[in-house]
């Protein structure tokens, strides 16, 4: 990893967004891209910041302002994978619940159709429309 200089913006204290128009230059040995999240130490406290400019985008004056180092690159890969996995699990559970309810509803209709001619007629019509065929006789 070679030494480079990047610029970051810090989140304001209220977490409502970036401090307007204020970029800070830092040295780094991490391979960073725009919008990556990093940790820097400010007044002996870790602070999160987002990469806003890479070395090739900085002026000589911005590069000259770098005096401290990026402490850590924040890798959100595992976090993003967990969020994606959780979303897939929720979607599958919803689909399973819907299929289960529909299957149980049809099973109940079939049982009731054996003893109630009106339900049998309505179910046959429904199944006919859904599958272009009469499944109950």
What pLDDT score was predicted for residue 1? Answer: 73
134 pLDDT band, cuts 50/70/90, is very low
pLDDT tens figures, 64-90: 999 999 999 999 999 999 999 999 999
Distances (CA, A) of 22 to 63, 86, 118, 129: 14, 36, 74, 64
Long-range contacts (CB closer than 8 Å, 24 or more residues apart) made by 71-78: 71/38, 71/39, 71/40, 71/41, 71/46, 72/30, 72/38, 72/39, 73/30, 73/32, 73/36, 73/37, 73/38, 73/39, 74/36, 74/37, 74/38, 74/39, 74/48, 76/37
Q: What's the predicted TM-score (pTM) here? A: 0.64
């Amino acid at each position: 990893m070679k030494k480079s200089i990047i610029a970051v913006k810090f989140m304001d204290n209220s977490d409502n967004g970036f401090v307007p128009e204020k970029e800070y230059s830092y040295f780094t040995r991490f391979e960073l891209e725009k919008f990556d999240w990093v940790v820097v130490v400010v007044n002996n406290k870790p602070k999160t910041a987002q990469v806003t400019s890479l070395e090739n985008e900085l002026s000589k004056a911005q590069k000259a302002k770098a005096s401290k180092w990026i402490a850590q690159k924040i890798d959100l890969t595992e976090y993003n994978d967990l969020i994606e996995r959780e979303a897939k699990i929720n979607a599958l559970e919803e689909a399973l619940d819907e299929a289960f309810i529909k299957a149980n509803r049809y099973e109940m209709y079939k049982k009731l159709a054996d003893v109630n001619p009106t339900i049998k007629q309505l179910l046959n019509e429904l199944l006919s429309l859904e599958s272009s065929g009469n499944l109950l006789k």
